[in-house]
Amino acid sequence: MAQPSQALRDALLTPEQAAAMDVHGRSDAAVLIPLYSYPERPGVVLTERRADLSRHAGEISFPGGVPEPGDADLVACALREADEEIGLDPSQVEVVGALPPVPTFVTGYRIHPCVGLIPEALRFEPNPREVENVLLAPLSTIAAGYGRRRLVRRGVPIRTDTYLVDGNLIWGATARIVKLFLERVPV
């Protein structure tokens, strides 16, 4: 029988395969999907962004952002951002793969999701300039919260995939990433 991390690697793309995929967008960004308690009781770490930010205020997202000059690649970007946003030490992350890049419709980003296994019971330190809360969400809870919901964004009604987790609404690019992840890593 395959080791749990090998089975997970087999279900995902390599970061190189994902980076080579042609997806609409003007700029690259990367996020880390920190996965804990896999495979017994798998869950992911999400952030609630501060409500007073100029971009994506109050939204639920994975830690991530745009590459900086010192980043060797998109995986390094995702790890650096997770460290900056929630204090997740990159040495505590076993990168096991990636998902296909996800385009954003309004901002024009190609978001590259990287998946990393992390130890259980880590303590996180949210960066008070960016992150309001760190959320630990079991995949079973996320999957149970799925629904197509009607949202109004900038005065325009849209019907979109969403996940409701403990009163927090996951939508947009993060919901599309979650959906891709759950398609590859069933709960």
Cα→Cα distances 113→28, 84, 99, Å: 11, 17, 5
C-alpha 49/C-alpha 74 separation (Å) is 21
| CATH number for position 122 | 3.90.79.10
In a domain, 177, yes or no: no
Instruction: Report if residue 15 sits inside a domain.
Output: yes
pLDDT single digits (tens) 126-155: 999 999 999 999 999 999 999 999 988 778
Residue 99 token pair = 């998902």
Residue 166 located in a structural domain: no
Domain residues for the domain of 134 are: 4-139
Give a yes or no: residue 151 inside a domain: no
Give the pLDDT score at 14.
Answer: 97
pTM beyond cutoff 0.85: yes
DSSP string covering 91-110, please?
Answer: GG-EEEEE---EE-SSS-EE
More confident residue, 79 or 187: 79
pLDDT digits (tens, 9 = 90+) for 173-183: 999 999 999 99
The pLDDT tens digits for 67-118 are 999 999 999 999 999 999 999 999 999 999 999 999 997 789 999 999 999 9
96 lies in some domain: yes
Within a domain: 19:
yes
How many other C-beta atoms lie within 10 A of the C-beta of residue 127?
A: 15
Confidence of residue 1 (pLDDT cuts 50, 70, 90): very low
49-78 pLDDT, tens per residue?
887 876 766 799 999 999 999 999 999 999
Number of domains in the chain: 1
Pick from 161, 176, 111, 166: which is nearest to 135 by CA? 166
* Element containing residue 151 per DSSP (H, E): strand 146-153
Q: DSSP secondary-structure letter at 13?
A: B
